[in-house]
Chains A and B, each alone.
Chain A
Amino acid sequence: MGEATFRFCSVVVFATIVVLIVGALGAAILTLPTEASGLKTVVDGSLDRSGAKNPVTAVLLNFRGYDTMLELVVMLLAVIGARALTRGETYTPTGAEADDIDPLLHGFVRLITPVMIVVAGYLLWVGGHAPGGAFQAAAVLAGLGVLLQLSGFPWFRHLYGFAERSLLISGVVAFLAVGIGTMIGPRSFLQYPPALAKTLILLIEAVATVSIAAILLTLYNSGVLRFLEFTRGEMIEQKERPEGVRVEKDPAEPGAEASAP
Chain B
Amino acid sequence: MTQPILYALAGAVMIGIGLFGAMSCAHVLRKMIGLNIMGAGTFLVLISLARRTPGPVPDPVPHAMVLTGIVVAVSATALALALLRRYYRETGRTQLEPAGDQA
Contacts and interface: CB of A to CB of B under 8 A. Distances in A.
A33 B68 contact: no
B50 interface: yes
Interface string B8-23: 1100110110011001
Contacts of A60: 64, 67-68
A34 B53 contact: no
A78 B78 contact: yes
Contact of A82 (B8, B12, B16, B78): B78
Nearest to B49: A32
Contacts, number: 126
Nearest to B78: A219
Contacts of B4: 34
Given A21-B15, A37-B53, A32 B5 contact: yes
B60 A18 contact: no
A81 B82 contact: yes
B62 A38 contact: yes
Helix, strand, loop or mixed for chain A's interface? helix
Interface in A34-67: 34-40, 43, 55-56, 58-60, 64, 67
Given A43-B61, A82-B82, A34 B24 contact: no
A33 B53 CA distance: 11
B20 A81 contact: no
Interface in B14-45: 15-16, 19-20, 23-24, 45
B39 to A, nearest CB: 14
Interface band, chain B: 35 or more
A181 B1 CA distance: 50
A38 B50 contact: yes
A59 B62 CA distance: 10
B96 interface: no
B93 to A, nearest CB: 16
B71 A29 contact: no
B103 interface: no
Contact of B16 (A10, A19, A64): A19
Contacts of A219: 74-75, 78, 82
A253 B1 CA distance: 67
Given A39-B59, A59-B61, A29 B15 contact: no
B67 A29 contact: no
B102 interface: no
Interface in B45-94: 45, 49-50, 52-54, 57-64, 67-68, 71-72, 74-76, 78-79, 81-83, 85-86, 89
29 contacts: A11-B24, A14-B20, A14-B24, A18-B16, A18-B19, A18-B20, A18-B23, A19-B16, A22-B12, A22-B13, A22-B16, A25-B15, A29-B9, A34-B52, A37-B59, A40-B60, A55-B57, A56-B60, A56-B67, A60-B64, A60-B68, A68-B68, A71-B72, A75-B71, A78-B76, A81-B79, A86-B82, A86-B86, A222-B81
Given A35-B53, A60-B67, A81-B82, 20 more contacts: A17-B19, A17-B23, A29-B8, A29-B45, A30-B5, A30-B9, A33-B52, A35-B54, A37-B52, A38-B50, A39-B60, A40-B58, A55-B60, A56-B64, A56-B67, A68-B68, A75-B74, A75-B75, A78-B75, A219-B78
